[in-house]
Structure 1
Amino acid sequence: MMNKILVANRGEIAVRVINAAHQLGYQTVAVFSEADRAALHVSLADQAVFIGAANSRDSYLNISVVINAAKKVEADAIHPGYGFLAENADFAKACEEAGLIFIGPSSEAIHMMGNKAQAKDCMEVAGVPCIPGYRGNDQQLSTLQQQAAAIGFPVYIKAALGGGGRGMRQVMFTEELPAAIESAKSEAKSAVGDDQLILEKAITNGRHIEFQVLADRQGHTIHLGERDCSLQRRHQKVIEETPSPAVNDILRQRMGKVAVEAAKAIGYIGAGTVEFLLAESGEFYFLEMNTRLQVEHPVTEMVTGIDLVKWQLKIADGQSLTIQQQDILMTGHAIEARLYAEDPDQQFLPQTGDIKLCQFPKIEGVRYDRGVKTGQTVSAYYDPMLAKIIGTGETREEARRRLIRALQQTVLLGPITNRQFLVELLQSSVFIAGKAHCQFIEQQFFNKTEPVSERDKIGNSQLIALAAISVTLLMNNNYSHQHQGWRNSGLASGYCRLKADNNSVFSCKLQKLSHPFYQVVIDDMPAIDLNIVSIDDHQWRYSIEGIVNTAYVLVEQGQVFISNQAQQIRLTQLGFESVQELEQAHNNVSAPISGCVVKVLVDTNQTVAKGDKLVVIEAMKMEHVVVAPLSGTIDKVYVASGQQVSAGTLLIDIHPS
């Protein structure tokens, strides 16, 4: 019998499990690393146990430490969430041996499905269709090259263990294979501790369709319909929905039947997901089985009315399913967007830093699963996902509109997020038509070359003007540092320089015209006449040309954070000497993110061209390549392989050619 549950995870999933457990009357225990002392999940649990250093290998991935934490507080069970130890068969077995209930499938089932090669062999025996590929133990480069040639390009390289896109590479041509294999092995080893790879035929323009299964200890197994997870960047999902626009009732029955058979073939218990690739031809192939709860599980809950986390807990406590397959009804539509701390304009590079302000609006038909709060730090140690926002409706279009509105009104000042990118995806004609496939983001957004529209330029200039006013008011003591109000005393006029994250510098001249109007001239742009309607804490109401808008503004330690419905920008106030330093710094290459230097690819005196690879940095279990911003000769290399660096650390000097 379960009474106290330890949640061996962090972030929004820890919050989700803790809330569900409390609703069923269970006591909860959170675990936290050095980096998560002030995290939201820690404050919500009945008890919390410190488990080690910020590095996940020393805390959330340390099996003995987590087991000892459960024993220390006399917990009866452990919920692994997803990620970290959720699909670690050794962890499930350690829980069993310690007399703890593991809220998930058996260690044998996890082991069988945890290795992609082994899982596909098992599924083929069960009659489940699989993508052609190579899953052998011979991992020599020559063997992998031969097998790739036999499969035919393009091919996918995948880590045999783990998921989330770690170790996954698409290779188009033979000559790209060696470098891709080396990089995939390195990333897989770091993420899951094993560098074994498999090769698969790349099926272009396919859709990622997964089926939610639920099975109890009494032998009952059902599916709860499909989720379409085709919108992905870096092979990681960003938007998911149910039902899929590409799946009709007949196909749903076929795929659902196969998913249930796959779960039964391994004696599965609990909540799990069987993932398929749906080709344009209508054929579908087994990808893998996730032996855990999925990040995107809320969309299934919203259309079926079934709480998957609560059922995980009930099944672990020995209860049998009270619902049959014929009882499952999918009503309405649900779409989920993952809010990440990442910069879409820099190939989705993860972002770190303190969350200065975090607000999620209350909107009918919208659900928020979040793991952050104001004042919390987003570190380089963990996945950069901040929250999941789920829009629901009677129709797909209603769910889409609600989700867009929720995203536009979400305020998160601090690290750059992908909020506006998500809105662009949801507003794209391809998504509206229900035609998005797995390569859509890569094809449409990774190589965007069209110039910034005049509308975007105007929007940016308006926010920069607002930033200039906020800085000037603060300098003239007309706008309190605590942001509790605004006083209209004295002449507010001045001159300031502001630097954006892309190193663009804006020279701003400001003059107060008459209460409460200001005129701002940015560089050589036309003057902007801006009326400050009101300032309420961080919320500014302002009007330009008779149109009133709202923005959230925060000025702190020489930085200005601004967000409105359309944009989010971060600016740094510069002195005159700082501008000169900035111009000189264009020849310096700094770390874009905190992490570990995996490899330095250049030497002193080496000639490089703009775009050449310089350094590989590992952060958040992914490898990020730093490239040359200009052509020239390497003057100096400041770092070495294995070195830990912070964001902004000087890596390399380049003498321009």
Structure 2
Amino acid sequence: MNKILVANRGEIAVRIINAAHQLGYQTVAVYSEVDQNALHVKLADQAILIGKANSSESYLNSSAIIQAAKQVQADGIHPGYGFLAENADFAQACQEAGLIFIGPSPEAIHMMGNKALAKSSMKAAGVPCIPGYSGEDQQLTTLQQQAQMIGLPIYIKAALGGGGRGMRLVQSIDKLAAAIEAAQAEAQSAFGNNRLILEKAITNGRHIEVQILADQQGHTIHLGERDCSLQRRHQKVIEESPSPIIDELLRQQMGEVAVAAGKAIGYVGAGTIEFLLAENGSFYFLEMNTRLQVEHPVTEMVTGIDLVKWQLKIAEGESLSLLQHDVIATQHSIEARLYAEDAVQQFLPQTGKVKFCQFPEAEGIRCDVGVNPGQMISSYYDPMLAKIIAVGDNREQARRRLIWALKQTILLGPTTNRQFLVELLQSPIFVAGKAHCQFIEQYLAEKSEITKRTENTTNNQLIALAAISTTVLVKNNERYRRQGWRNSGESVWYCRLQVNNKEVFNCKLKKIPQQPYQITISNQETVDLEIISVEKHLWHYKINGVTEHAYLIVEQDRVYIASQTQQLNLTKLRVETKEQLQQVSSRVSAPISGCVSKVLVEINQAVKKGDKIAIIEAMKMEHVIAAPVSGRVMQIYIKSGQQVSAGLKLVDLQKQE
């Protein structure tokens, strides 16, 4: 191969492009209409537009991708993960087009991509599997009978695909039929096939996966395990290697089983065997991912083995130069996935333009980044922005380093889950290495310390700083000079800020020359704050004798602000006098881009805090918009069927005490 086309986007496309360049390959990026300014497009040697924003018309359009490869005379295609990475038909089409598919054979992808076939082949190879049903008979009565024979609780899973689609946990018999029908419908929609399998649910289990590497000559080794138990909605959030609960004997056993599984299907390339580890130490085959994993960096960090480079070498026919005893992991690595999502609002995906981003560079820290300033984060694709990875001599050092690195990660624009990740890493259960697959779900349901701290501590220092930032531009631009502003004597003015399209803060600002600003927030706390310096987006300020810093971008109607502890997106509801402040209504804004499916209020209607205002459909989910305060509907700006963007005004309420 001389030229490689990367059939993917985001941080994994960037990762593959960088590895290919280091080995001397030319690279080609493909992109959709909304990704023309994406980072992977800028880094590749060439780039080709392959379709519209919808993934079905771009990144899932196999014929367009193969045509693009032919157009630029590429020799091979790397699928990354997601999209077409585990599509056997795409791998076959690449081969038929004379292109090297950088991954396993179509036959291996097909066998492992079908959970029913995968389990059959693994059982034949002597790999332990979870008790369950994967038969051809998919009638409702048959599935109900099999579920009762297995014994509740059980998991219903789509036989094809992954990512939690078509997956249901059933704990009571009266909910079984409805769960089966819902899973079949979702599986049909997501994967074009409604076939299901049933598995015994193992409570408080650990999700353990073993990385394997196999060449075309039949040599297969494993690179140790990863613990991926911290998940929300069956999607991994934090991963680490090695697992804190696995000893050398169990590690050897799981590794040997993983190698045997790979050899049983003639696997070639990098792949992952996923297991569920029960509390009693028994482990069971879950599935095989016939591709690179999102969490592969933690394995690379502890072994020093570059998996992407080995994928390329194996695709060229090179033999593995590594034997099993050459794989030595002496350190510990932890990875956190940075998503554009609001953890407080049930992990609601966030959209918008990246205004500014900065990622840490330090010993033991690696950042796999897929975004750059000016790039739009759309609702069309997975909301993962970057992966922050730390390595240390031991688990505690890696954990501390990762917390530090996350706090140094600054992204102004869409809301991210950064603080939620920090809270997880600081939680006593994680520190003790005892987090299981239901950890996040249980703690959120119980309104644990994690949620409370994330949800209830809007930093008044940042509110005060944002309020001041609205006046700094005023002082430098005569057209926006506020009433009450004077160059000498006491100046008083007011502003109103809505945080993350939710809570509203009324701010009274007072400035006396040669003294700090005094900001009273919602008639409660008064903050004395002194601006030390402003260097582009970086603001240094002093509060209570301590100098702090935060990053800000101030626009006409918005303020984006982030410190080491919090990120806020604020809407400026401009007022200048106390009377205007009292007259301003409460604004309800769209928390996400999508389509308004229902408007549930009318003009002059009285509503209570928490009442439903509207429903927005986005990313195949319905999101209920609730009234932030009790009041009366003064103005409605939307109608059913209307497309709205995040932050757009939906309704004005006249607040009533």
TM-score (norm 1): 0.90
Partner residue of 1:626 out of 624, 627, 638: 624
Evaluate the alpha carbon distance shift between residue 397 and residue 479 of structure 1 in structure 2; reply closer, same or farther with a 3 A threshold. farther
- Provide the rounded CA distance (Å) in 1 between the counterparts of 2:204 and 2:443: 13
- CA offsets per residue over residues 595-618 of structure 1, 9 Å max, x none? 468x889999xx999799986835
Residues 129 and 284, structure 2, Cα contact 8 Å, conserved in 1 = yes
Matches within 5 A, 1:53-452: 53-448=52-447
SS in 1 for 2:66: helix
Evaluate the alpha carbon distance shift between residue 457 and residue 8 of structure 1 in structure 2; reply closer, same or farther with a 3 A threshold. closer
- Provide the rounded CA distance (Å) in 2 between the counterparts of 1:82 and 1:374: 24
- Provide the rounded CA distance (Å) in 1 between the counterparts of 2:55 and 2:332: 36
- CA offsets per residue over residues 289-312 of structure 1, 9 Å max, x none? 000000000000011010000000
1:549 is matched with which residue?
548
2:617 is matched with which residue?
617
Residues 277 and 286, structure 1, Cα contact 8 Å, conserved in 2 = yes
- Provide the rounded CA distance (Å) in 2 between the counterparts of 1:579 and 1:64: 60
2:33 is matched with which residue?
34
Pick which of 503-512 and 365-374 moved more: 503-512
- CA offsets per residue over residues 255-292 of structure 1, 9 Å max, x none? 00000000001000000000000000100000000000
2:536 is matched with which residue?
537
SS in 2 for 1:430: helix
Answering whether residue 10 of structure 2 is matched by residue 14 of structure 1, we say no
Percentage identity across aligned positions?
65
1:109 deviation in Å?
Answer: 0.2
1:49 deviation in Å?
Answer: 0.7
SS in 1 for 2:29: strand
- Provide the rounded CA distance (Å) in 2 between the counterparts of 1:616 and 1:152: 38
- Provide the rounded CA distance (Å) in 2 between the counterparts of 1:29 and 1:345: 39
SS in 2 for 1:95: helix
- Provide the rounded CA distance (Å) in 2 between the counterparts of 1:36 and 1:382: 11
Residues 638 and 650, structure 1, Cα contact 8 Å, conserved in 2 = no
SS in 2 for 1:229: strand
- Provide the rounded CA distance (Å) in 1 between the counterparts of 2:499 and 2:419: 17
2:483 is matched with which residue?
none
- CA offsets per residue over residues 427-467 of structure 1, 9 Å max, x none? 11111111110000011124416799799977611110000
- Provide the rounded CA distance (Å) in 1 between the counterparts of 2:639 and 2:136: 39
1:501 is matched with which residue?
500
Pick which of 330-339 and 609-618 moved more: 609-618
1:188 deviation in Å?
Answer: 3.3
- Provide the rounded CA distance (Å) in 1 between the counterparts of 2:478 and 2:396: 42
SS in 1 for 2:533: strand
SS in 2 for 1:131: coil
1:558 deviation in Å?
Answer: 0.8
1:23 is matched with which residue?
22
Evaluate the alpha carbon distance shift between residue 465 and residue 119 of structure 1 in structure 2; reply closer, same or farther with a 3 A threshold. same
Residues 61 and 85, structure 1, Cα contact 8 Å, conserved in 2 = yes
Residues 472 and 493, structure 1, Cα contact 8 Å, conserved in 2 = no
Evaluate the alpha carbon distance shift between residue 644 and residue 85 of structure 1 in structure 2; reply closer, same or farther with a 3 A threshold. farther
Evaluate the alpha carbon distance shift between residue 216 and residue 457 of structure 1 in structure 2; reply closer, same or farther with a 3 A threshold. closer
TM-score (norm 2): 0.90
Q: Give the counterpart letter for 2:42 in structure 1.
A: S
- Provide the rounded CA distance (Å) in 2 between the counterparts of 1:264 and 1:601: 57
- Provide the rounded CA distance (Å) in 1 between the counterparts of 2:65 and 2:451: 50
1:485 is matched with which residue?
none
- Provide the rounded CA distance (Å) in 2 between the counterparts of 1:179 and 1:609: 33
1:591 deviation in Å?
Answer: 6.0
- Provide the rounded CA distance (Å) in 1 between the counterparts of 2:644 and 2:187: 21
Evaluate the alpha carbon distance shift between residue 295 and residue 602 of structure 1 in structure 2; reply closer, same or farther with a 3 A threshold. same
SS in 2 for 1:60: coil
Q: Give the counterpart letter for 2:87 in structure 1.
A: N
Residues 215 and 271, structure 1, Cα contact 8 Å, conserved in 2 = yes
- Provide the rounded CA distance (Å) in 2 between the counterparts of 1:289 and 1:457: 41
- Provide the rounded CA distance (Å) in 2 between the counterparts of 1:53 and 1:411: 30
Superposed CA RMSD in Å reads 3.4
Point out where structure 2 has 5 or more consecutive residues left out of the alignment.
481-485
SS in 2 for 1:383: coil
SS in 2 for 1:345: helix
Evaluate the alpha carbon distance shift between residue 648 and residue 150 of structure 1 in structure 2; reply closer, same or farther with a 3 A threshold. farther
1:564 is matched with which residue?
563
SS in 1 for 2:387: strand
- Provide the rounded CA distance (Å) in 1 between the counterparts of 2:428 and 2:109: 40
- Provide the rounded CA distance (Å) in 2 between the counterparts of 1:497 and 1:612: 24
- Provide the rounded CA distance (Å) in 2 between the counterparts of 1:235 and 1:266: 27
SS in 2 for 1:527: strand
Residues 638 and 651, structure 1, Cα contact 8 Å, conserved in 2 = no
1:199 deviation in Å?
Answer: 1.9
- Provide the rounded CA distance (Å) in 1 between the counterparts of 2:478 and 2:157: 54
